[in-house]
Amino acid sequence: MTNNSYTHDTTDFVILIIPTNLAEQVPTFEVPNFNYQTLDTRNTSNDVLTALKKNGIISFTNVPSYAQERKSYLDSAAACAVSTQEINTEFLFHKTLTDGTNHYMRTPSGQDADDTAP
């Protein structure tokens, strides 16, 4: 398992996850970008709807308090993750799918995600 970490400092982002074998088959397209501050104008709302109908994906810029809210959420998520686990233990995610398949995923406990962790 690899650890891919990065920092994203802007107020817009899009995450798209595609299995590697399908990535080559997916045509490229441009993700329409909209200013959050102008969503209440008629032209912008119509443009957003048109863009969503075309590819089902859009991005926003100038979302109020985005950076602050994102940091607060990530800090809380890290604190929550480590509060229920002992140091050097693992999280085990388990889900039984509708066809009866058991899906398990193990990840590190997240101690390195919280600077205040013991």
In a domain, 110, yes or no: yes
Q: Is residue 93 part of a domain?
A: yes
Number of domains in the chain: 2
1 in any annotated domain: no
Model confidence pLDDT, tens digit, residues 10-65 = 445 566 666 666 667 767 778 999 999 988 888 888 899 999 999 899 999 999 99
Decide if 31 is inside a domain.
yes
What are 80-103's pLDDT values in tens digits?
A: 766 655 555 555 667 788 888 877
Instruction: Specify whether 48 is located in the same domain as 85.
Output: no
Say whether both 23 and 52 belong to one domain: yes
pLDDT number for residue 16: 62
CA 94/CA 69 separation, integer angstroms: 29
Domain boundary among 48, 64, 80: 64
Q: Are residues 70 and 56 in the same domain?
A: no
Within a 10 A sphere around the Cβ of 12, how many other Cβ atoms?
A: 17
Do 72 and 43 sit in the same domain of this protein?
no
Quote the tokens at residue 41.
């104008």
- Could you give phi then psi for residue 73, rounded to 5 degrees? -65, -50
Question: Do 55 and 72 belong to one domain?
Answer: no
* pLDDT for 106 beyond 50: yes
Does 2 fall in a domain?
no
Where does a domain end: 64, 86, 107?
64
Domain that residue 77 falls in: 66-118
Q: Which amino acid is at 101?
A: T
